[in-house]
Amino acid sequence: MTASPKTRSSAPRTAAASAPAPGGAEERLAASASPVAGAASTLSARVSVEGPRTGPGQVFAPLGDDARSPGGVGSRRHRKPPLTGLALMADRMPEAKLESGVRDILKDLEKHGHKVLAFHPWSSKHSAGGWPDWAFCTVRGFMVRELKKQREKPRADQQEWLDALTAAGVDADVWRPSSLLSGQIARELARLAGLGDST
């Protein structure tokens, strides 16, 4: 039996409908994806060569420790360990408490019959600047000491006096809270009082 013309013409129409038409949705999608893929490839290549960057107008920033610049404020590699124990106490001690400790040692020495003559100006307002805070004297020697907080440095005029006195043969130095907490002040005053070696 011979197929009718209507039956023969229906097969080509079905095949044509299943094939993607030129300029259809799938072709347009593939064409639009190509520039995006190219841009992503270019960005990936740039990052691999130049490394991650941050700054105004940049798209991304690295996270974690890589975001911290070496030696910067947030760098874990160069962060100092926190102070503990005596180091923390010394760092927080005001100069007034350091001076109080010196006075207590002098009183204790005198109480046990080992007096050390000590001079501390009531106020340096009307005196020449730079002279050390304390002067100590016994028949065994003479020394001067400048009192400073743990991280504080002598002023220029104070350092000038300390250097000149040292050059003249005077025992001149700086006491800090760590000097009190370590027993250095007590040992040096005891040595001046004749109670043995300070080492």
Inside any domain, residue 124: yes
pLDDT of 66 above 90: no
Compute the mean pLDDT over every residue in the chain, rounded to the nearest whole number.
75
pLDDT of 25 above 70: no
> Per-residue confidence at 125, pLDDT binned at 50, 70, 90?
confident
pLDDT tens profile 96-110? 999 999 999 999 999
Asked if 109 and 193 touch (Cβ cutoff 8 Å), the reply is yes
Inside any domain, residue 140: yes
Asked if 19 and 27 touch (Cβ cutoff 8 Å), the reply is no
> Per-residue confidence at 199, pLDDT binned at 50, 70, 90?
very low
Inside any domain, residue 27: no
pLDDT of 186 above 50: yes
Please count the structural domains in the chain: 1
Inside any domain, residue 83: no
Inside any domain, residue 43: no
| CA atoms of 81 and 67, how far apart (whole Å) | 21
pLDDT of 188 above 80: yes
Residue 110, domain extent:
94-192
pLDDT of 44 above 60: no
The CATH code of the domain that includes 171 is 3.40.1350.10
| CA atoms of 164 and 169, how far apart (whole Å) | 9
pLDDT attached to residue 142: 98
pLDDT tens profile 136-153? 999 999 999 999 999 999
| CA atoms of 149 and 182, how far apart (whole Å) | 15
Inside any domain, residue 59: no
pLDDT attached to residue 156: 97
> Per-residue confidence at 26, pLDDT binned at 50, 70, 90?
low
Inside any domain, residue 81: no
Percent of the chain with pLDDT over 70: 59
Among the listed residues 171, 140, 145, the one whose alpha carbon sits nearest the alpha carbon of residue 158: 145
